[in-house]
Homo-oligomer: A and B are copies of this chain.
Amino acid sequence: MSKNLTSRAEDYSKWYNELVVKADLAENSAVRGCMVIKPYGYAIWEKMQAELDRMFKETGHQNAYFPIFVPKNLFEAEEKNAEGFAKECAVVTHYRLQSDPDRAGKLRVDPEAKLEEELVVRPTSEAIIWNTYKNWIQSYRDLPILINQWANVVRWEMRTRLFLRTAEFLWQEGHTAHATKQEAIKEAELMNNVYATFVEQFMSIPVIKGIKTESERFAGALETYCIEALMQDGKALQAGTSHFLGQNFAKAFDVKFTNKEGKLDYVWATSWGVSTRLIGALIMTHSDDRGLVLPPKLAPYQVVIVPIYKSEEQFDAISEKANEVIKGLRNLGISCKFDNRTTHRPGAKFAQYELQGVPLRIAIGPKDLENDTVELARRDTLSKQFVAISQLNETVTTLLEEIQDALYKKALNFRDSHITIVDNFEDFKKELETKTGFISAHWDGTAETEQKIKEQTKATIRCIPENNKLEDGVCVYTGKPSKQRVLFAKAY
């Protein structure tokens, strides 16, 4: 199968689309812009969810669930205080009922009826959640509220791509309420750090932590913290954001509390989220022209075993050995699949698991039975070795850690070699045309300059990096004085 994959050099975008479909991760659905996440893709999302959920809970958060619909008037309340908040939305205007309320027997479907108040399908849940928090918060004793929600959201995107930008996507959204500004800022920073740790340690993707410029902030946020990753085609991808929302949403929904001093004040807020978009980042960071490459910590199975046999007798003997091997590996917490399908040849199986990015492949043939060995192949380096069964558990354990680490380092090298320091606009444009990646350049701090650079180059300021070095310089575009460099890039 992998032979048919378009190469990255030939057409990166086509390579990505083909890979997502051929590796059985997702596909387009009958609904414009909505995807079907197939079992193999969904298994990656489940692994990501499990880790993130654990990290959220360890940092004191609880899960809850709020309605998918937001009455239109709540949106309007919000827009006054968080202008531009309204996203591209799907709007429910009608409902239909059955004439028989018991659902039994033959039914007539009534004509549709118009809703008194139209409902927006949530593009994000600040409005419905802050409207709810209003009733939960009276005093500082009710704070903080540290809630996360796993949910589907809908944004009416006109140009969609599997995982990267879809009309419906899955995500988590944290919404916290605090008694003080300092506490809310600390929370927003904490969660951006949680995201960075997750993306680096589990996805093996290096990220740059930073803050967004005012124009790139989430509408309603006073500060947007973000993590930015670099894809193999040199485009940046925003992997997660965490917003310090100040008192904007509390004001929009009139959420006040009595503080320790007995005075009424508005509540301080944060929100933060990552989505199935991360699967797009995972694919684009590590995969190659032969298919997916998955970091062991997120692979649906870390090891696949393929039997090589010519007779039923051999198949039985190999199966017995394979089951022993699996038992040993599973005891170590390593997830394994034994592909004992008799309908497919080993070559087809090899191609499938290469395409699907299984970190380690074990092949067992008649020779291996004689020698008490297996053939062990690494997906990331494509290297192979024979390993004595007595050494297998140890070798696999070590290799899985090595692969996780090697993927990170490879991506880090790539990222670091794609940050270019640029000091004039000619070089800026030339860099973007040739090498791409992040451009580190001085900027005069105005939204106007940012906008002009974007119009002329399609590059945006991805972030002002955390702990950014201060240095005197002049804006790459206007020549006005600047105190620090920021990171520009074209982005997904």
A residues contacting B by CB (< 8 A) are 27, 29-31, 34-39, 42-43, 45-46, 62-71, 74, 83-84, 86-98, 101-107, 109, 112, 118-119, 121, 128, 131-132, 141, 147, 151-152, 154, 156, 158, 168, 170, 215-216, 219, 343, 447, 451, 454
**For residue A343, which residues in chain B have a CB less than 8 angstroms away from its CB?**
141
Q: Known interface pairs A67-B29, A88-B97, A128-B29. Does A215 touch B104 (Cβ–Cβ under 8 Å)?
A: yes
Whether B112 contacts A31 by the Cβ 8 Å rule is no
**For residue A89, which residues in chain B have a CB less than 8 angstroms away from its CB?**
95-96
Whether B94 contacts A91 by the Cβ 8 Å rule is yes
**For residue A151, which residues in chain B have a CB less than 8 angstroms away from its CB?**
152
**For residue A88, which residues in chain B have a CB less than 8 angstroms away from its CB?**
95-98
A446 to chain B, nearest CB (A): 13
Given the complex of chains A and B, what is the CA–CA distance between A454 and B219 in angstroms?
Answer: 55
Given the complex of chains A and B, what is the CA–CA distance between A34 and B67 in angstroms?
Answer: 6
Q: Known interface pairs A103-B84, A219-B103. Does A65 touch B42 (Cβ–Cβ under 8 Å)?
A: yes
A85 to chain B, nearest CB (A): 9
Q: Known interface pairs A69-B168, A91-B95, A105-B447. Does A30 touch B63 (Cβ–Cβ under 8 Å)?
A: no
Nearest B residue to A24 via CB reads B136
Whether B30 contacts A156 by the Cβ 8 Å rule is no
Nearest B residue to A65 via CB reads B37
**For residue A107, which residues in chain B have a CB less than 8 angstroms away from its CB?**
83-84, 86, 219
**For residue A39, which residues in chain B have a CB less than 8 angstroms away from its CB?**
62-64, 147
Given the complex of chains A and B, what is the CA–CA distance between A121 and B95 in angstroms?
Answer: 10
Given the complex of chains A and B, what is the CA–CA distance between A451 and B66 in angstroms?
Answer: 38
Whether B90 contacts A95 by the Cβ 8 Å rule is yes
Q: With a 10 A CB-CB cut-off, give which of A92, A170, A219 has the most chain B CB atoms.
A: A92
Given the complex of chains A and B, what is the CA–CA distance between A106 and B29 in angstroms?
Answer: 33
**For residue A156, which residues in chain B have a CB less than 8 angstroms away from its CB?**
95-97
Given the complex of chains A and B, what is the CA–CA distance between A240 and B77 in angstroms?
Answer: 40
| From B64, B67, B128, contact of A38 by CB (8 A) | B64
Q: With a 10 A CB-CB cut-off, give which of A45, A106, A109, A168 has the most chain B CB atoms.
A: A109
Whether B87 contacts A90 by the Cβ 8 Å rule is no
| From B91, B98, B105, contact of A451 by CB (8 A) | B105
**For residue A119, which residues in chain B have a CB less than 8 angstroms away from its CB?**
31, 90
Nearest B residue to A96 via CB reads B89
A114 to chain B, nearest CB (A): 9
Known: A43-B63, A97-B158, A141-B343. 17 other contacts (CB 8 A): A29-B66, A29-B67, A29-B128, A29-B132, A34-B67, A36-B66, A36-B132, A38-B64, A42-B63, A42-B64, A69-B168, A84-B98, A84-B107, A86-B98, A89-B95, A90-B92, A151-B152
**For residue A27, which residues in chain B have a CB less than 8 angstroms away from its CB?**
132
A395 to chain B, nearest CB (A): 28
